[in-house]
Amino acid sequence: MTITLRTEALNKTYRRKIRKPGFVGALKGLFSGEEEAVQAVSDVTFSLARGERVGLIGENGAGKSTTLKMLTGILVPTSGKLEVLGFDPSRQRRQLASRIGVVFGQRPQLLWDIPVQETLSLLRTMYRIPASVYDVTYPQAVERLDLGPLLAVPVRKLSLGQRMRCDLAASLLHAPDIAFLDEPTIGLDVSVKEQVREFIRDMQQRFESTLLLTTHDLKDITETCDRILLLDRGKLLFDGSLREFERRFATKRRIVVELERPASDEVREQLAKDIAELGAELVECRAHRAVVVYEGDGAAPALTQRLLSRLPVSDIVLEKSDIDSMVANIYRRSTISTEKSVA
């Protein structure tokens, strides 16, 4: 297993000026040098092997973009060790740049006033892309991302979705060893997102690139990654496979029951007691629907038996939490615990 990227106790602290609100605050700010320290990334340690597909997730302000900026060399860590493809990113930024591809979803990288094709050919010269690579990556990008009609259009005339597709093509044209994609599907509609994910998968597989992707759309992760890094307030909360992530965080499961007729109050009360004995909770039992929530493996058969014996069941569905609700749950728990510790 070849390690392509390694961080050890990585830290980044920003110094931020304290600005008070209002006009008077703005005036005071001209003369006041008050600052506060913001710990954006705290003791983050992980490594990526060649060809790994990793999703970096976390709430807004969790430190994802800061981490990515340090990995690509445009931000210097406050402390800690960092090595990407054998380079120290901030000291050897130019050497590293020729071997990585970066998309910052919120920062266009194409030349604004000239047609897309011109930027792509400029990048070919800039990255010294050999014909053997360009002859593969260029047609594939044009075909998979449907760029044909856009090539002659000046970038400023493209829609957000069109520009993102072109940005992605531009960043992967040189078949980088590592692709850092910061929110590559931000603001895109469902069909374009699908197109983008498919393209990322194809390019990654073809060139065995290592992929590190940040996103708030967790479908990006489930469809393109095998491993998750979860950041929370600058700290690495989880590092493991998607399966491990589910095992650890998908603790809550649901049984949804469709009823032939509404249950009486008496039945409802009895059922609630019955399933409470099995460690579950009847969270809903109204009209033609009942929902039971439980944690842990192995409880489903006994619960299903109780439900079938007490209720006039017409249909029954067992649901696991999806990744969105798992992550939402983690964020919620983390916010509550912070509020408690502050109180």
Partner 1 sequence: MTPTRPSALRAEFATFFALFSRGLRSNFAYRPALLLAMLSAALSYAVPMLVWRHIYASGGGSKAVPAQALFPYLLLAGCLNFGFAMNVESRIGQRIRMGLIATDLLRPVDFQMAQLSQALSDGIANLAFVLPVFGVACAFWGKSAFPHDAAAFFAFCASVLLAFVILFAVSFIFVQATFITYSSYGVFVARNALQQTFSGMSAPLALFPAGLRAASEWLPFRHTIHTPVSIYLGWINGSAVWAALGAQLIWALGLLLVGRYMLRVSLLKFEIQGG
Residues that bind partner 1 (CB under 8 A): 14, 60-61, 65, 69, 72-76, 90, 93-95, 97-98, 100, 102, 104, 106-109, 111-114, 118-119, 121-122, 125-128, 154
Nearest residue (CB) to partner 1, 113 versus 244: 113
Cα distance between residue 58 and residue 213, in whole Å: 12
How many CB atoms neighbour CB 249 within 10 A?
19
Nearest residue (CB) to partner 1, 28 versus 254: 28
Per this entry, what is the length of the chain?
343
- In the bound complex, what is the minimum distance in angstroms from residue 129's beta carbon to partner 1? 11
State the Cα angle at 151 between 147 and 157, rounded to 5°: 100
Token code pair at residue 95? 């050497």
- In the bound complex, what is the minimum distance in angstroms from residue 123's beta carbon to partner 1? 8
Nearest residue (CB) to partner 1, 93 versus 320: 93
Nearest residue (CB) to partner 1, 215 versus 292: 215
- In the bound complex, what is the minimum distance in angstroms from residue 106's beta carbon to partner 1? 7
Nearest residue (CB) to partner 1, 14 versus 194: 14
- Alpha-carbon torsion, ordered 181, 182, 183, 184, to 10 deg: -30
- In the bound complex, what is the minimum distance in angstroms from residue 212's beta carbon to partner 1? 14
Nearest residue (CB) to partner 1, 186 versus 313: 186
Contact between 309 and 274 (Cβ < 8 Å): no
- In the bound complex, what is the minimum distance in angstroms from residue 19's beta carbon to partner 1? 12
Nearest residue (CB) to partner 1, 126 versus 276: 126
- In the bound complex, what is the minimum distance in angstroms from residue 128's beta carbon to partner 1? 5
Q: Helices 160-172 and 190-207, interaxial angle, to 10°?
A: 0
DSSP 146: T
- In the bound complex, what is the minimum distance in angstroms from residue 183's beta carbon to partner 1? 9
DSSP 62: S
- In the bound complex, what is the minimum distance in angstroms from residue 96's beta carbon to partner 1? 8
Classify residue 148 by burial, with Cβ atoms within 10 Å: 0-12, 13-18, 19+.
Answer: exposed
Using DSSP, state whether 165 is helix, strand or coil: helix
Nearest residue (CB) to partner 1, 12 versus 144: 12
Nearest residue (CB) to partner 1, 126 versus 287: 126
Cα distance between residue 303 and residue 271, in whole Å: 10
Helix (H) or strand (E) segment spanning residue 233: none
Beta strands in the chain (DSSP E): 3-17, 35-49, 53-57, 79-84, 100-104, 178-182, 210-214, 227-232, 235-241, 252-259, 281-286, 289-295, 313-320
- In the bound complex, what is the minimum distance in angstroms from residue 337's beta carbon to partner 1? 24
Contact between 213 and 54 (Cβ < 8 Å): yes
Token code pair at residue 250? 């998908």
DSSP 263: P
